[in-house]
Structure 1
Amino acid sequence: MRPEMLAVASASGGVLSHLVYFIHGHRSMEAPKIVGFYIVAVCLLWMRCIHLQGAVHGASNAGIISASYFLGLFTSILVYRIFFHRLRRFPGPFAAKVTKLYGPYTALDRKPHLHWSKLFDKYGDIIRIGPNELMALSIDAQQKIHGAGSPCSKQNSAYESVNYKGHPNLDTILNHKDHRWRRQIWDKAFSTKSLETYERNAREVVYEWLEKLKSLQGQPINTSLYSTLIPFENMGRMGFSASFGSIKAGKEDDMLHYLEVTLGTLAKLGLLWWPIALMNAIGGSNDLIKFQKLACQMVDRRGEQADDEHEDIMKYFLEDYHSKEPKTMHHIDDIYSDAQAVMTGGTDTIAAVLSFAFYYIARDPTVQDKLRSELQPLFGRTAPGEFTNHDLGEAAAPYLNAVINETMRVDNPTCANGPRMMPPEGLEIDGVLIPGETLVYVPINSMHRSAKYFKEPDSFIPERWTTRPDLVIDKRAFHPFLLGPYNCVGKRLAMIVIRFTIAYTVWNYDFKFAPGEDGTSIHRDMINQAILKAGGLHCVFNKRA
């Protein structure tokens, strides 16, 4: 066969592959099989051609066949995505329409959430951010996609790619029924009785923080670092009845380091999931493997103790696992998987809130003054010489909670929110039909900072939650802990840790930016690694008389 005919036939094969296989369904999780198939196929092709036709002629034909096939395949993909794809009429950057590599491009500066907000300003409220992905800045989308009774599903690569040996955690379970069973166990672990123990743990951790401040009084302290160590230490106690000693040491534990490196790797991919599937196929990255190993060791050590010996989250996981008829923990890997979720959710999200809260409070002395005035009658109200979570609730401490809410609004830890797959029949959002089997993101950070829903959206104004409600156009846009059946199960615990840390610190110490610190680094150096991580901020703390 002449070379030109060989090229046409091979290119036609590439087009046919796209039309018959690639165009149907989502293939990210099949990446290992696809890559493996093509490596083997190309190698066999070259070997066969060279064997039958000799080195020069065979290699030439093999090259023509290979190049033409892939040229036809990718040309077909490109033409389809631009002119025939069901999302072709949705606005967005041209690059996003043709390749998912646009995601990693937006993540180059590690701040893709800021890039998304700019896209909304430029293209409107529903934008195409990938070949089969949309992003919606919409209350209607928020309610219909994430609210109770939503017809949308988690059946997508964003969740399928993040599990432990094929065992999903609470957040990555795809089946609604399985999720309900798993959620029941988690809810038991966060019952009112359990929270009483967690409250004591949180107070002990905060006292370790205060002792550290006492030992370093007058010296500049990286509050962003300790904002991570505080919830990390708390996570160890409420999750596993374990103490890491990280606050006393004043540095990150190995487990915390591996966790942050792993999250950072995910974030660099910018909503691109097939590389994760490839990585998982070869065993995962070294840091991920080390993190998973340490998490499993934590579970094993806790499992050597009696289930009822300590009041922690693992107690309830192990109880279900050891029961005659487990509801959800059928395999030890189920616990290992959820243990990693405990470590992630119980550390980084709280760390971001505390980091930025310290920044806003240190920046404005009047915020500290208002907090102390509110805390004055609450100190010792229920427990002598202590604050209690009940006394720091929204009814008793509205300004404290307003500071927390405003921090979570302006710098919410969960920037993107997980995507949802539209039902086959599609879903109407704000009068626009979103085609079926489309992935849609509703980014929390962009909603929280949208002028559609908040006046002066980029300004930190706690009073919008108390005396100036006119600054909130639509309160439904504020959903820092998500909403619907997949909302944050640890919300109440997170609020205990945040309230205690702020209340005890403000009550015992005056603090301000350290000499030479202007506060710009906390936002300049922040990175979105799936969960927002603040840049450094150095403050000086002085004990109050």
Structure 2
Amino acid sequence: MRYELLGVASASAGVLSHLLYFIHGHKAMQAPRTFVFYLMAECLLFVRCFYLQGAFQGTLSATTISLSYFLGLFTSIAVYRLFFHRLRRFPGPLAAKLTKFYGPYKARGGKSHIHFVELFEKYGDVVRTAPNELIVLSTDAQQKVFGVGTRCSKENTSYESVAYKGFQNLEAATNREEHRKRRQIWDKAFSTKALESYETYARETVYEWLGKLASLQGQPVNTSLYSLLIPFENMGRMGFSINFGSIQKGKEDIMLHYLEETLGMIAKLGTMWWPIALINAIGGSGDHIEFEKLACRMVDQREKQADDENEDIMKYILQDHHSKVPKGFHHHDLLYADAQVIMVAGTDTIGATLSFAFYHLARDPALRQKLLTELEPLYGRTLTGEFSNHDLSDADAPYLNAIINETMRLDNPTCSNGGRLTPPEGLEVDGIFIPGEVVVYTPTHAIQRSAKYFKDPNSFIPERWTTRPDLIIDKRAYLPFSCGSHSCVGKKVAILVLRMILAYTVWYYDFEFAPGEDGLAIHRDAIDASILKPGKLECVFSQRT
């Protein structure tokens, strides 16, 4: 009877812990404190029971108290999430309604982007994927959650776990005013004048790529690898005025390894971010720490030069930081934080798109010929013996840009977008009311492959952006760079780099799948590692005569 009463009392305490504390607000970022509290409480409990009752009886009592308490706590949580939570009426997998562990479970194979598509097909356009999270297949949701004037925020989402020594980078910044001030500096770094210099860097990188192809003399080329090395090399120049030499080496730089491991770790957690808070509390993961150190070294190396010595992104960030009254970069650690944004956004996102673009071109000789025909009058039009970004614009090179658009529609590098927290008063999407204080995701991959918005959505048809606009049901569904104040700041640079690489490659080389290559692995082995990582694709390049 004694142990029964002890168990009931402990279970009641667990229920009260949930009703009085855990049920109120978002607790993910408090995980380190919660863990320490319970660890200390358990230690004190067992020590106290041992002291009063001896080893055997003390262990029995302490175990009874602990198990009963946590049984009461988690039972209360489960009952609330299933029957009383504000999202209880939204459909979704039972496990997702009960626990956020459903996220990492489904993300374990790196196919989260495909899993979201399957969930929409099974449950409809609004699906509960975690106790307090929804995924929504809707252009209306995209505009209301991410668009200009949105009242949704990044607070209490996974972005709060992304920081360098407490300073959030531009992408993760949750404070609107802080983000606005820093975004102004970044916008200067992508002005028309700056883009002219970046075009020169892109052309230099392209010629390194062409030189590498010439040296390989028709050997099979892992285009997925080089599609990553090319923008990585370009990022070094545009971001920090650094030449890595990675294209010539033909292998991943250690920085790429650290970058991929960092993003991969986040992706494996699904949308569960309290483990990140725990990891950060003990100093972070080894690979991420090394990635941060490399970013810091790149900033330090660039800072040894005069701020305006080179035209690169860091020039504008340093100028603001070194000014008498900095607008956005008032602390030196903010430079280190945003340097990591340059490395991520300037490499993996472009690399994924480029890899899939090579795939589509390699499998279809008619596509390459049509693009080559379009490029003929543009070669040397502005610059003798060269292509220029101006001449490769939508107006002058519609098919080239259509290929890029269709590639990013089918296999967008950022498959899922970041989550946003709905305002306290809630949000209405397509006539459906979404309660306040709920994290909402609008998965880009699922939306851009939805039959609601595109006819024949899973087919690669560049003409839908040129002569076949009837294949687009709702153009608002195409948001590869997101929208609103948090849209991709480097969009113009990304398009510039993709245009130059594809134009020069097709102009100087014809290419196709290597012997024995069927092209299936690029999609089959693709992994949603925060940014889509394509599978391997080998092609053979033949120089045009």
For the criterion TM > 0.5, the same-fold answer is yes
- Could you report, residue by residue, the CA deviation over 1:17-45 in whole angstroms, capped at 9, with x for unpaired residues? 00011001111111111011100100000
Contact 1:217/1:540 (CA < 8 Å) preserved in 2? Answer: no
Q: d(CA) in 2 for partners of 1:108 and 1:510?
A: 38
Contact 1:409/1:478 (CA < 8 Å) preserved in 2? Answer: yes
Q: d(CA) in 2 for partners of 1:56 and 1:103?
A: 40
Once the 2 structures are TM-superposed, how far is the Cα of residue 175 of structure 1 from its aligned partner?
A: 1.3
Once the 2 structures are TM-superposed, how far is the Cα of residue 316 of structure 1 from its aligned partner?
A: 0.9
Matched, 1:517 2:517: yes
DSSP-derived class of the 1:356 partner? helix
Q: d(CA) in 2 for partners of 1:15 and 1:157?
A: 26
- Which residue number corresponds to residue 335 of structure 2? 335
- Which residue number corresponds to residue 97 of structure 1? 97
Once the 2 structures are TM-superposed, how far is the Cα of residue 177 of structure 1 from its aligned partner?
A: 1.1
Q: d(CA) in 2 for partners of 1:82 and 1:520?
A: 41
Once the 2 structures are TM-superposed, how far is the Cα of residue 328 of structure 1 from its aligned partner?
A: 1.3
Structure 2 counterpart of 1:289, one-letter code: I
Contact 1:349/1:413 (CA < 8 Å) preserved in 2? Answer: yes
- Could you report, residue by residue, the CA deviation over 1:64-120 in whole angstroms, capped at 9, with x for unpaired residues? 000000000000000000010000000011110000011011112101110100110
Q: d(CA) in 1 for partners of 2:487 and 2:321?
A: 24
Q: d(CA) in 1 for partners of 2:202 and 2:144?
A: 36
- Which residue number corresponds to residue 40 of structure 1? 40
Contact 2:157/2:439 (CA < 8 Å) preserved in 1? Answer: no
Q: d(CA) in 1 for partners of 2:294 and 2:146?
A: 33
- Which residue number corresponds to residue 434 of structure 1? 434
Tell me how large the CA RMSD over aligned residues is. Answer: 0.7
Q: d(CA) in 1 for partners of 2:308 and 2:295?
A: 21
DSSP-derived class of the 1:177 partner? helix
DSSP-derived class of the 1:428 partner? strand
DSSP-derived class of the 2:148 partner? coil
Q: d(CA) in 2 for partners of 1:254 and 1:470?
A: 46
- Which residue number corresponds to residue 152 of structure 2? 152
DSSP-derived class of the 1:182 partner? helix
DSSP-derived class of the 2:378 partner? coil
Once the 2 structures are TM-superposed, how far is the Cα of residue 237 of structure 1 from its aligned partner?
A: 0.4
- Which residue number corresponds to residue 287 of structure 2? 287
- Could you report, residue by residue, the CA deviation over 1:503-539 in whole angstroms, capped at 9, with x for unpaired residues? 0000000100000000000001110000001000000
Q: d(CA) in 2 for partners of 1:201 and 1:498?
A: 13
Contact 1:295/1:339 (CA < 8 Å) preserved in 2? Answer: yes
- Which residue number corresponds to residue 505 of structure 1? 505
Q: d(CA) in 2 for partners of 1:58 and 1:527?
A: 50
Q: d(CA) in 2 for partners of 1:69 and 1:495?
A: 56
Q: d(CA) in 1 for partners of 2:271 and 2:245?
A: 35
Once the 2 structures are TM-superposed, how far is the Cα of residue 156 of structure 1 from its aligned partner?
A: 2.1
Q: d(CA) in 1 for partners of 2:327 and 2:218?
A: 53
- Which residue number corresponds to residue 219 of structure 2? 219
DSSP-derived class of the 1:325 partner? coil
Q: d(CA) in 2 for partners of 1:356 and 1:343?
A: 20
Q: d(CA) in 1 for partners of 2:115 and 2:257?
A: 27
DSSP-derived class of the 1:391 partner? coil
Once the 2 structures are TM-superposed, how far is the Cα of residue 157 of structure 1 from its aligned partner?
A: 3.1
Q: d(CA) in 2 for partners of 1:78 and 1:352?
A: 40
Once the 2 structures are TM-superposed, how far is the Cα of residue 271 of structure 1 from its aligned partner?
A: 1.1
- Which residue number corresponds to residue 139 of structure 1? 139
Contact 1:29/1:157 (CA < 8 Å) preserved in 2? Answer: no
- Which residue number corresponds to residue 364 of structure 1? 364
Contact 1:413/1:532 (CA < 8 Å) preserved in 2? Answer: yes
Give the ranges of 4+ consecutive aligned residues of structure 1 lying more than 3 Å apart after TM superposition: none
- Which residue number corresponds to residue 447 of structure 2? 447
* Superposed counterparts of 1:349-388, under 5 Å: 349-388=349-388
Q: d(CA) in 2 for partners of 1:15 and 1:217?
A: 70
- Which residue number corresponds to residue 390 of structure 1? 390
Contact 1:352/1:532 (CA < 8 Å) preserved in 2? Answer: yes
Q: d(CA) in 1 for partners of 2:444 and 2:59?
A: 53
Contact 2:258/2:290 (CA < 8 Å) preserved in 1? Answer: yes
- Which residue number corresponds to residue 181 of structure 1? 181
- Could you report, residue by residue, the CA deviation over 1:240-279 in whole angstroms, capped at 9, with x for unpaired residues? 0000000000001111110011111111111110110010
DSSP-derived class of the 2:291 partner? helix
Contact 1:381/1:387 (CA < 8 Å) preserved in 2? Answer: yes
Unaligned runs of 5+ in 2: none
Q: d(CA) in 1 for partners of 2:127 and 2:539?
A: 40
- Which residue number corresponds to residue 10 of structure 1? 10
Structure 2 counterpart of 1:511, one-letter code: F
Q: d(CA) in 2 for partners of 1:102 and 1:208?
A: 45
Q: d(CA) in 2 for partners of 1:293 and 1:71?
A: 43
- Which residue number corresponds to residue 85 of structure 2? 85
Matched, 1:119 2:113: no
* Superposed counterparts of 1:316-327, under 5 Å: 316-327=316-327
- Which residue number corresponds to residue 344 of structure 1? 344
Matched, 1:404 2:398: no
* Superposed counterparts of 1:258-273, under 5 Å: 258-273=258-273
- Which residue number corresponds to residue 539 of structure 2? 539
Q: d(CA) in 2 for partners of 1:314 and 1:541?
A: 36
Once the 2 structures are TM-superposed, how far is the Cα of residue 208 of structure 1 from its aligned partner?
A: 0.1
DSSP-derived class of the 1:458 partner? coil
Q: d(CA) in 1 for partners of 2:189 and 2:484?
A: 19
Contact 2:157/2:419 (CA < 8 Å) preserved in 1? Answer: no
DSSP-derived class of the 2:541 partner? strand
Q: d(CA) in 2 for partners of 1:108 and 1:170?
A: 28
Matched, 1:313 2:313: yes
DSSP-derived class of the 1:418 partner? coil
Structure 2 counterpart of 1:265, one-letter code: M
Q: Which shifted more, 231-240 or 1-10?
A: 1-10
Q: d(CA) in 1 for partners of 2:398 and 2:30?
A: 50
Contact 1:111/1:527 (CA < 8 Å) preserved in 2? Answer: yes
DSSP-derived class of the 2:496 partner? helix
DSSP-derived class of the 1:377 partner? helix
* Superposed counterparts of 1:244-259, under 5 Å: 244-259=244-259
Q: d(CA) in 2 for partners of 1:364 and 1:28?
A: 48
- Which residue number corresponds to residue 301 of structure 1? 301
Contact 1:206/1:501 (CA < 8 Å) preserved in 2? Answer: yes
Q: d(CA) in 2 for partners of 1:227 and 1:90?
A: 41
Unaligned runs of 5+ in 1: none
DSSP-derived class of the 2:377 partner? coil
DSSP-derived class of the 2:135 partner? strand
Contact 1:510/1:544 (CA < 8 Å) preserved in 2? Answer: yes
- Which residue number corresponds to residue 198 of structure 1? 198
Once the 2 structures are TM-superposed, how far is the Cα of residue 46 of structure 1 from its aligned partner?
A: 0.2
Once the 2 structures are TM-superposed, how far is the Cα of residue 57 of structure 1 from its aligned partner?
A: 1.0
Q: d(CA) in 2 for partners of 1:362 and 1:14?
A: 61
- Could you report, residue by residue, the CA deviation over 1:174-201 in whole angstroms, capped at 9, with x for unpaired residues? 1111111000000011111111000000
Q: d(CA) in 1 for partners of 2:313 and 2:468?
A: 39
Q: d(CA) in 2 for partners of 1:459 and 1:406?
A: 9
Contact 1:45/1:62 (CA < 8 Å) preserved in 2? Answer: yes
Aligned residues: 545
Contact 1:448/1:454 (CA < 8 Å) preserved in 2? Answer: yes
Q: d(CA) in 2 for partners of 1:269 and 1:217?
A: 43
Contact 1:448/1:478 (CA < 8 Å) preserved in 2? Answer: yes
Q: d(CA) in 2 for partners of 1:163 and 1:392?
A: 38
DSSP-derived class of the 1:179 partner? helix
Contact 1:521/1:536 (CA < 8 Å) preserved in 2? Answer: yes
Once the 2 structures are TM-superposed, how far is the Cα of residue 59 of structure 1 from its aligned partner?
A: 1.0
Q: d(CA) in 2 for partners of 1:80 and 1:302?
A: 53
Q: d(CA) in 2 for partners of 1:181 and 1:452?
A: 38
- Which residue number corresponds to residue 106 of structure 1? 106
